[in-house]
Structure 1
Amino acid sequence: MKKLLFIFLVTFTSVTSAQNLIAKSADDITPLIIGKKIPNLTLKLSDNTDVNISELLKKKKTVLVFYRGGWCPYCNIHLQALADAEKQILDLGYQIIAVSPDSPENLKVTEEDDKLKYTLVSDSKGALIKAMGIAFEAPDNRKSVIYIKSDGLNTNFLPVPSVFVVNRESTILFEYVSPDYKRRLKTEILIPVLKNLK
């Protein structure tokens, strides 16, 4: 019995600590799974004010998106697609929150350039991205841009682009995590998922 308990504790500790580390590559991540809760952390909004993630999620069921940054053309296409589908998403009773390592100042640029109405959140230090288990070591050719866009707070990680559908209790109901940053969850698939979860 003691041996089984020891094996369980070692396994649990390994999985828990793995979600706070930065994976070597996008293929090596260990994301939180359906049924787990989004960690309660304080990050920044585009106006540089603090925001508690749990408080944001309590407002409405949420489409929680993680993207690499406003410098990434694939991310901007995805953010725009979400903006185009925002009315449908709102009508289904959901809000959209998008998180990236960009600084609040750079979030504001993305909001203005893409004319986004939904909430962008800055996780420049990667607290939530790492806790979600989707952080991986950025390729060398991206390290200078993420350093600049995070105002020097991020030197080495990127999030794997991901979409989590979360209830008001912060529990994950659905997820789409793609190590290939060019592949994003299409809104044509997201909308039926949201309808089915209703």
Structure 2
Amino acid sequence: MKKIICLALFAIGLSVHAQNDLPKQAIEIAPLLIGEKIPSITLKSVDNTDVDLLELISKKRTVLVFYRGGWCPYCNAHLAALAEAEKELLDLRYQIIAISPDAPKSLKVTDDKEKLNYVLLSDSVGELSKAVGIAFEAPENYKATIAKGSDGVNNSFLPVPAVFILNVNAEIEFEHIAPNFKNRISNDLLIAVAKSLKK
């Protein structure tokens, strides 16, 4: 009996260890696929309150955006571009939710600087990025920057920039994953896809 218990504990230990192991590079990630569901996770808002992600998604079709942080100029350019597309997406009855490892106070800086109307959420621990399969081990030269942005919570992972379009059941209907962080989906393509999914 002791042997069985030891084997079971060993297997659990291996499983936990495997979950903590992150891909070494952005190109090695294994994201959720179209048809799969975004997991139920509580994140922090700009004002540091808890937000039930699935409850938010259940209200409207959602453009769910993962970005690296407010320190990333490519991410800020993408957030600003999304702000330009927001009216058309709202007219199509979508909402935009953007998520990064930044702490709430860093989100507030981004929100104020970019003058965004859509929702920014904090995933500093990386629970959501890891569950979605887009987290990878941050290169050494990024660790101080991401630690500062996350208020010391994160110095180990980065999310690969990604855009998911979800229905109200949190099911993925479209995804655009960008291992090369300089490449982002254009507004024209995003809006075209959003329109086609509404038909």
Structure 2 unaligned runs (5+)? 1-16
Partner of 2:148: 148
Partner of 2:51: 51
Partner of 1:120: 120
8 Å Cα contact 1:61-1:168 kept in structure 2 = yes
Distance verdict in 2 for CA 1:87–1:157, change over 3 Å:
same
Partner of 1:39: 39
Q: CA RMSD in A?
A: 1.8
Structure 1 unaligned runs (5+)? 1-16
Counterpart Cα distance in 1 of 2:19 and 2:60: 26
Counterpart Cα distance in 2 of 1:18 and 1:192: 38
Partner of 1:185: 185
5 Å-filtered alignment, 1:6-85, equals 21-85=21-85
TM-score by length of 2: 0.90
Partner of 1:196: 196
Partner of 1:94: 94
Partner of 2:169: 169
Q: What SS is found at the alignment partner of 2:58?
A: helix
Partner of 1:108: 108
Structure 1 segments, 4+ long, off by >3 Å, are 17-21
Q: What SS is found at the alignment partner of 1:65?
A: strand
Letter in 2 for 1:178: A
Q: CA deviation at 1:20?
A: 6.4
Q: CA deviation at 1:18?
A: 6.9
Counterpart Cα distance in 2 of 1:195 and 1:18: 39
TM-score by length of 1: 0.90
Aligned-residue sequence identity (percent) comes to 60
Partner of 1:13: none
Q: What SS is found at the alignment partner of 1:143?
A: helix
Task: After superposition, give the CA deviation of every residue in 1:97-124 in whole Å (9 maximum; x if it has no partner).
Answer: 0000000000000000000000000000
Distance verdict in 2 for CA 1:103–1:159, change over 3 Å:
same
Task: After superposition, give the CA deviation of every residue in 1:123-148 in whole Å (9 maximum; x if it has no partner).
Answer: 00000000000001111111001001
Task: After superposition, give the CA deviation of every residue in 1:151-186 in whole Å (9 maximum; x if it has no partner).
Answer: 111011000000000000000000000100000011
Q: What SS is found at the alignment partner of 1:99?
A: strand
Letter in 1 for 2:143: K
How many residue pairs get matched?
185
Q: What SS is found at the alignment partner of 2:174?
A: strand
Counterpart Cα distance in 1 of 2:31 and 2:180: 15
